[in-house]
Each structure stands twice: as C-alpha cells, then as structure tokens.
Amino acid sequence: MLVIGECIHVISKEVKTALENRDKQFLQTLALHQIKSGAHVIDLNIGPQKKTGPDVMKWAVQTVQEAADVTISLDTTNAAAIEAGLGVVKKKAFINSTDATPERLQALMPLAAKYKASIVALTYSGGGLPTTADARIELASELILPVAAELGIPIEDIYLDPLVLAVNCNQDQAIITIEAVRFFKQMSDPPPKTVCGLSNISSGCPKEMRPLLNRVFLTMLLGAGLDSAIVDPLDNALMDVLRIIDSQKAVTPKEKLYLDLYNAYAAGTPFEPSGVDMNIAELRDIVKTVLVIENKTMYAHGYLRL
C-alpha cells in the first residue's frame, strides 16, 4: 500500500508555527521522520492560506525536496497554492483533493491534466453525505471519471476516496465504505486507484482506542482493495500491520489474526472469528473491533470492556 504521511498538517500547532516562521528544519525533520518510518508520499496540508497560499506551498515543497527525494501531496483547498506547488515539484505529485462538485472539478482536474499529477477525488457532491456504496459509485462514474476522461487524465491517476466517516457517529457507514472501495476497484479495467483518510474512522473516540480502530479498519480496507491511505506513519503498530499484510508473513497469533482478517476481506468471504482464542485480550479486542466496524455490535466508547 502506498503510505501518504499525514503529519505535516496545519491543525498541529507546531506545524502551523513552522509554516508561519518558515522553519525549514522543523519541516524537514518531520518529513524525514515520516519517510524513515515508511511513508512513500509526504502530504503538505497548509490549510486554505487565502492570501499567501502559493508562497507557502512553494516554500514547503522546496523545503521538503531539499531534504528528501520524495513524492509530495499538495493538500489545500486553495487551487492557486496547488498550482504553485505543482510548478516546483520534482516528482509526479498528488493533488489532495477535489470532490464531485462542479466548482472543485473545474478548478483542479485541469491542473492534474496540465501537470500530469495524480488527484484524490472525494465522492461527495455537496449537500448530504452519500449513505450507500452505490451513491459513491454513482458520484465517481457520473461526475468524477467523465471529467477526468475528457481531459485525458489516465484512470490510474485518479484516487477515489469513499469518504470515511466516524464510527462513533455513523457506524453503519464503516462497512459501506469498505464495500465502496471494493466496487471502485471493479469499475473498469484498468480500475481507478483508491485512497482514504484513515483516522477519520476513529474521530471522536477516546484517544487510547483510536489506534486499534485505525489498524483493524485499514486491514479490512486493504482486503477490499485499497491502494493507498493518508495515515500517521509514526504509528508503529499500524505500520507493523502493513508489513504483515505486505509480506503475508505472520508469526504471533495477533499477526495471524490480522492476516486472516485481511484474507477474508480479500476473498470477499465473511470473517469467521470462531477459531480465535477469546481469552487473549489483544485478540479479543481485535475481534470486538471488527464486529463494531461491521456494525454487528453497537459502538459505545466502552465496547472493549464488554
């Protein structure tokens, strides 16, 4: 899986300060740290930056590139800032992101075509959020992909994002998101790529529970065919799960469980937890988390305690 490192994000106070002060060392250290931990792409979320967006993005891209030869993901709603970043990237970059609204598609898709960039496209068209996998497919096939095709953007450069919602508020959507990824990968030959903002799944959940939800959800998404995800590469346990799945090698019972879960989802067969030793807490917690994501047990902050 292509790992897009999310740590350079304007919501973090330190990042915000570093962007304001043009603190090269901070940005480079954070980029290198992520690359060392396994990130293939460095996401640069600079916020909307209405006035200085192009300058900030250009500076951020050049700063990271000075330290590392890495793919950059340009993450802002400011199209001018994205274009400024595209002008200075050394490798094929990611535009993060458009959605299915005409305004965003018209602003960003031509940039993807002009600069031969990859582009993340959220299956969202304003108004209500899509509530079914079919609604997400429809947005992709009727609004996003036709625009890309018209501009001659190769379908492999389109990264469809099924829009991950918090399991805490929209529990039924978790499994629907996974199914949407599966359908995206069956849309055409070659199929579009898929991506998601993983940690949205655990947004609003107690801090100590978020990594487990993220890990289990990612395993299931990968089974369904997810190509890439925007994640925290500094989360060692998450990266361990990725390694297990990539290598298809599992030694401990926990590793085997993650691999079984992945394989069940990859085969499109129901995950059967019947063989799992539920006396072992770490295995039990994984199974309980699968049941929550599959919407078979109602989520509550204390679900692991039951």
Using the rule CB under 8 A, is 305 a contact of another protein? yes
Q: Minimal distance in Å, beta carbon 289 to another protein? A: 15
Using the rule CB under 8 A, is 306 a contact of another protein? yes
Using the rule CB under 8 A, is 262 a contact of another protein? no
Q: Minimal distance in Å, beta carbon 303 to another protein? A: 8
Using the rule CB under 8 A, is 270 a contact of another protein? no
166/180 with CB nearer another protein: 166
Can you say whether the dihedral through the CA atoms of 133, 232, 40, 114 is positive or negative? positive
Q: How far apart are CA 220 and CA 257, in angstroms?
A: 12
Please, what's the largest Cα pairwise distance for the chain?
A: 58
Backbone torsions φ then ψ of 118, nearest 5 degrees: -80, 155
- For 70, the 3-state DSSP assignment is coil
Using the rule CB under 8 A, is 65 a contact of another protein? no
**What's CA 222's distance to the chain center, in Å?**
11
Which residues does residue 170 pair with via DSSP β-bridges, in sequence order?
Answer: none
76/168 with CB nearer another protein: 168
- Report which of 193, 194, 210 is spatially closest to residue 202, judged by C-alpha positions: 210
Using the rule CB under 8 A, is 128 a contact of another protein? no
- Report which of 37, 35, 60, 62 is spatially closest to residue 47, judged by C-alpha positions: 60
Using the rule CB under 8 A, is 203 a contact of another protein? no
Q: Minimal distance in Å, beta carbon 127 to another protein? A: 20
Q: Minimal distance in Å, beta carbon 299 to another protein? A: 5
According to CB under 8 A, which residues from 283 to 302 bind another protein? 297-302
Q: Minimal distance in Å, beta carbon 253 to another protein? A: 26
Rg (CA), the chain: 19
Which residues of this chain interact with another protein, rule CB under 8 A? 168-169, 171, 297-302, 305-306
